[in-house]
Amino acid sequence: MQTLREFTRKTKRGNILKIVREHYLRDDIGCGSDLCQQCFQNEVYQLTSQHEIQCSLFKFPHYIVLDTNVVLDQIDVLEEDVLHNVIVLTTVLNEVKHKSSSIYKRFNELVHDRTRNFYVFVNEHHKDTYADREPDETANDRNDRAIRVATKWYDDHLQASQSSKEFEHSGRAATRVILLTDDAGNRAKAEAEGILVASASEYVKSLDDFPLLVDKLSRNTFENEKKGLPQYPAHLSMKELLEGLRNKKLLQGAFQASRENYLEGSVNVEDYEKEILIQGRESLNRAVDGDLVAVELLPENEWSAPSEIVLEEKNVYADDVPSEERAADEKDMLKQVQTAAASAERTPTGRIVGIVRRKWRQYCGILQPSLVEDTNRHIFVPADRKIPRIRIETRQAAMLQNQRIIVTIDTWPRNSRYPHGHFVRSLGPLGNMATENEVILLEHDVPHCKFSEEVLSFLPKLPWIITEEDYAKRVDLRDLYICSVDPPGCTDIDDALHCRELPNGNLEVGVHIADVSHFIRPGNALDKEASARGTTVYLVGKRIDMVPELLSSNLCSLVGGVERFAFSCVWEVDQEANILAKRFHKSVIKSKKAMTYEEAQVIIDDPMQQNEIAKSLRHLNRLAKILKKRRMDNGALVLASPEIRFQVDSETHEPLEVEAKQMRETNSMVEEFMLLANITVADHIASEFSECAVLRRHPRPPPTKFDPLVKAARYQGYQVDIESGLELSHSLDKCVKEDNPYFNTMIRILTTRCMMQAVYFISGSLQKEEFFHYGLAAPIYTHFTSPIRRYSDIMVHRLLAASIGADSTYAELLDRKANEEICHNLNYRHKMAQYAGRASVALNTHLFFRGKEEDEEGYVLFVRKNALQVLIPKYGLEGTLYLKSDKDGKSGLERTKSEVVFTFNEEDYTQRCGNVVFHSFDPVTVRLSLDSSNVQHEKLVFRLVKPYIKGFSVELNTEDAADAAPPSKKTKKDKKKK
């Protein structure tokens, strides 16, 4: 049976187009219930009488039909293993898919979980439940009617199946069908049509066996809540926002909250060189970090400047606190912000007038103990300082104290100081290593759930062997002396190298990269998962793989002594590393040795070793030095960042020792040939695919970003020239001090802070001059050498394979728009992976210093308005030494006493206290300890030991003073012994 669906569409020219489509209706779609005697069931019964829910609202067996808004708003409730026998209409499924892809994905997993008894009923193609759209009926009203029609049909259908005398004699209560909806209009119509209906909140509260499920309800308002006075300006309607954006009266951009100052944020607007500054709670107007907002630019005479002061919200206000008291407190805080900004250069400033799109997510944090006894209302404090506190209702507060929990935001009404949300789940106890790692992954949006069965189904079946057909299609390089050089403990070995002498006196150099694209075919579930993850994430002692372990640590990893598939880039070079010829091919290799950087260095340095591997390594090392010098002469920058390496206890996973990472010649050797391979491949794919090559660029920083570096170097008597990368590189090379070997490293660390982020892009989206990689001084660059841990490299492998005929091309490979979206995701994932790695280092540093106090030599990296940024070379640690006391008189261990006054000089970026002046790069001695007073945000505290400032520096007794020169470690245990 078929019906016709007619609808009209307006074309760009204004013409009306009538579209007619055939819509097939069937009479053989089963209802999925084991009670039914009429339907043809083409699969196992999904709706069974085994899962009856005890509900005080409906005291009889029942199935549940969900409205779209219930799925969208109450997904956290649905994910709990409580509700069974749920009928999912295709109308609802399609609406959810259209409105929220993330919730659709979560809901889809529930539907496919057989134990939950969620049955998808194709109501849009059932002859008795299809609802045609009526004249003048909106699409939303038609969908609501379709849901009611299907619910009514189900209820009547099941009652007919239970009307037999046999069922009546069984004494069982008849099973009914109820509709859950939070739409008041839909509910009223359902009641008028004789449908059993309830709201999600009413239904959950009636589940006597699951009283705690109420905590997970999404709520716009709290019960018995007083309607307070407005705390914020009203947002403009969506119509007004669109009109303002179209007329250019409003600007649109992503809101970024400040981590240091809760009264400040900024909006990144396209085509604006500077971000729009937002200051004050009313101007921030309920925007949450990540939201897409509409901003009204203030008149230029009202512009301000970023305050650069640390300002945390100390008090938690209830919404019924007298507004005068709160306003006075806030006015005082805003005055601090504006005073601090008064002398700085003003920047475009605005106020947020509306939210174009929310980007709320789940947030990790802790419950703040309530001052009111026997209350269900509590304040949740997020771990991310950018996120405001959230009001929630929970009956589990006592149990959740000292636990990391997850909360999500539901709404932020005008009359509430804080957004409203609900409890989702507990992660585990505070301070527990597994819990804290989970927090890091969640807060940095790192996908880390187990790979699904669908993804794993696309992995090769074991035992995997290389066939004769494989050998025939590839170049056989198994006899070459190929080896890999990696960090200790590396199991995901992406790359291997070889170098051999040719009869003509030249050298053949090969970079062999794991052929991951052979195992991950375009468009399948494994490929989509790798694309979504974007990169492997490395935490201390933990790795979150981009691809399943069977590939990352086994079949793709170029381990020693095992045959593996590779993608080879091979050059013929002369003795001066000039490239004479190049070729690319897919190959089979057998690495002769997998080494660490240290092992490779030992072989190179040992003249007694003259085997083929040793000769290969020495050739590679010599050529690498030539290549590096050539890059430096072209203006490539040698940058630095303080990096830490932990020795971790294999059982407890806690750090045993912490030290700065060591760099050897072999690190540089591998890096040079990876860079050469990336540049060579970039040049090739850009010439073959001028519109759709995946490349990587590093934009030149604007001159203003170099100001802190230039001023700091000038005070030390050095001129840093930033006109070009080459001049900057030469300037950095000259910044050397005989008496301070670490000075040049610090200058390079400061230079790193001035850099822009390198990003992936598609060649057709930019002019060729914009391809330039500033840090490497390379006109073109890409990533080819790490496909096990970077999806960008897989994309590049596919382009390269297509260009040499080693693999076929396909439409998506050449789809510029689709690949640009993938690049945006990759840039985001790489940034988040970096932040997660740093957060993991910070966590392990805190664990290492717990219960310890150490005096260490350090250097002032740069001077801030109210702090010194200090670097400890021994550990590669960086931390803040605060110079100003809290306004409220409370002083933490790292704060000064109020009578000590520091004066900041903006001209030369110095801090003065009496006769002591702090400049960048000045040596200091600091005492390191861990402040655990804030259980959620433990801080590594830096306190000044030398130079000594009375009332500010650590007070030393005679014995301590003797120990302080030269500085030595001092633990609490040592003090107790004394």
* DSSP secondary structure of 137-202: --HHHHHHHHHHHHHHHHHHHHHHHT-SHHHHHHTPPPPEEEEE---HHHHHHHHHTT-EEE-HHH
Q: Greater confidence, 790 or 158?
A: 790
User: What is the per-residue pLDDT across 630-643, written as a single tens digit (0 to 9) for each?
Assistant: 988 888 888 766 66
pLDDT digits (tens, 9 = 90+) for 945-976: 988 888 888 876 644 444 444 444 444 334 44
**Burial class of residue 229, CB neighbours in 10 A (0-12, 13-18, 19+):** exposed
> Domain containing 940: what range?
851-889+897-946
Reference 447, options 218, 783, 105; nearest CA is: 105
Q: How many Å apart are CA 304 and CA 331, to the nearest integer?
A: 16
Same domain for 707 and 691, yes or no, is: no
Mean pLDDT of 761-781: 92
Confidence class for position 723, pLDDT limits 50, 70, 90:
confident
Name the least confident of 27-36, 309-318, 392-401, 588-597: 309-318
Average pLDDT rounded to a whole number, residues 124-135: 87
Residue 682 pLDDT class (50, 70, 90 cuts): very high
Examine the domain organization and report whether 614 and 501 are in the same domain: yes
Looking at the DSSP bridge assignments, the partners of residue 19 are 7
Regarding whether 99 and 187 lie in a shared domain, the answer is yes
Which long-range contacts link 436-442 to residues 24+ away (Cβ below 8 Å)? 436/404, 436/843, 437/539, 437/542, 437/840, 437/843, 438/364, 438/404, 439/364, 439/383, 439/404, 440/539, 440/836, 440/839, 440/840, 440/843, 441/537, 441/539, 441/544, 441/836, 442/362, 442/364, 442/406
**Does residue 493 lie within any of the structural domains?**
yes
**At residue 291, does pLDDT exceed 90?**
yes
CB 580 within 8 A of CB 574: yes
3 located within any domain: no
The CB density around residue 371, as the number of other CB atoms within 10 Å, is: 9
* HSE-up (13 A, CA, CB side) for residue 106: 13
Residue 325: pLDDT band by 50, 70, 90 thresholds? low
Integer Cα distance of 504 and 526 in angstroms? 46
Segment 881-892, tens digit of pLDDT: 888 644 333 444
The per-residue pLDDT for 558 is 93
Q: Residue 113 — pLDDT band, cuts 50, 70, 90?
A: confident
DSSP conformational letter for 578 = -
CA–CA separation, 922 vs 904, rounded Å?
16
Residues 880 and 739 in one domain: no
Note whether 292 and 285 are within 8 A (CB).
no
817 and 685 co-located in one domain: yes
Q: In the prediction, which pLDDT does 873 show?
A: 80
Q: Are residues 55 and 75 in the same domain?
A: yes
Tokens representing 298 are 């203030």
- Residue 551 is given by DSSP the state I
Q: Are residues 83 and 210 in the same domain?
A: yes
Look up the pTM and report it.
0.80
Give the residue from 216, 242, 277 where a domain finishes.
216
Alpha helices in 762-852, H assignment, sequence order: 791-803, 816-849
Mean pLDDT of 552-567: 93
Q: Quick check: is 691 in a domain?
A: yes
Beta strand 542-544 with 420-429 is unpaired
Half-sphere exposure of 914 toward its Cβ, with a 13 Å CA cutoff?
Answer: 10
Domain membership of residue 224 (yes or no) is no
- 802 is written with which tokens? 């297509």
**829/87 Cα distance (integer angstroms):** 37
Per residue in 23-71, pLDDT tens?
Answer: 788 877 888 888 887 776 656 667 887 777 888 899 888 999 999 999 9
Query: Are residues 493 and 476 both part of a single domain?
Result: yes
Q: Give long-range contacts, CB 8 A cutoff, 24+ apart: 128-137.
A: 128/153, 129/153, 130/3, 130/23, 130/25, 132/3, 132/5, 133/5, 133/7
Whether residues 536 and 417 fall in one domain: no
687 with 724, same domain: the answer is: no
Largest CA distance in the chain: 102
Of 291, 362, 357, the C-alpha closest to 106 is 362
Q: Is residue 291 part of a domain?
A: no
Other beta carbons within 10 Å of 226: 8
CATH number for 423: 2.40.50.700
Mean pLDDT across the chain: 84
**Whether the predicted pLDDT of 894 surpasses 50:** no
| The total number of structural domains that make up the chain | 5
Report the run of H or E that residue 539 belongs to, with start and end. Answer: strand 537-539
DSSP string across 22-91: EEE-BS-----BTT-SSS---S--SB-TT----BSSS-S-EEEEE-HHHHHH-HHHHHSTT--SEEEEHH
* Nearest by Cα to 893 from 850, 924, 932: 932
Confirm whether 19 is domain-assigned: no
User: Are residues 612 and 474 part of one domain?
Assistant: yes
* Share of residues in the chain with pLDDT > 70 (%): 86
**Which range among 12-16, 252-256, 973-977 has the greatest average pLDDT?**
252-256
Report, as an integer, the average pLDDT of 895-922. Answer: 76
* Residue 707 pLDDT greater than 60, yes or no: yes
* CB atoms near residue 897 (< 10 Å): 10
Q: What is the pLDDT of residues 427-457, one digit of tens each?
A: 999 888 889 899 999 989 899 989 988 899 9
Choose from 364-378, 443-457, 845-859 the range with maximum mean pLDDT.
Answer: 443-457
**Which is more confident, 175 or 340?**
175
Checking if the pLDDT of 324 tops 60, the result is no
Structural domain includes residue 133: yes
Q: 604 with 670: CB under 8 angstroms?
A: no
The CA–CA distances, whole Å, from 484 to 108, 196, 585, 589 equal: 43, 68, 19, 12
Q: What share of the chain is helix, strand, coil (3-state, %, to 5)?
A: 35, 25, 40
Which CATH number covers residue 871? 2.40.50.140
State pLDDT tens for residues 479-530: 999 999 988 888 889 999 999 999 999 999 999 999 999 999 999 999 999 9
Handedness of CA 234, 237, 242, 243 (dihedral sign): negative
**Could you tell me if 735 and 716 lie in one domain?**
yes
Phi, psi of 225 (to 5 degrees): -80, 135
Position 423 in a domain: yes
pLDDT band at 787 (very low <50, low <70, confident <90, very high): very high
pLDDT of residue 786: 93
Q: What is the pLDDT at residue 892?
A: 42
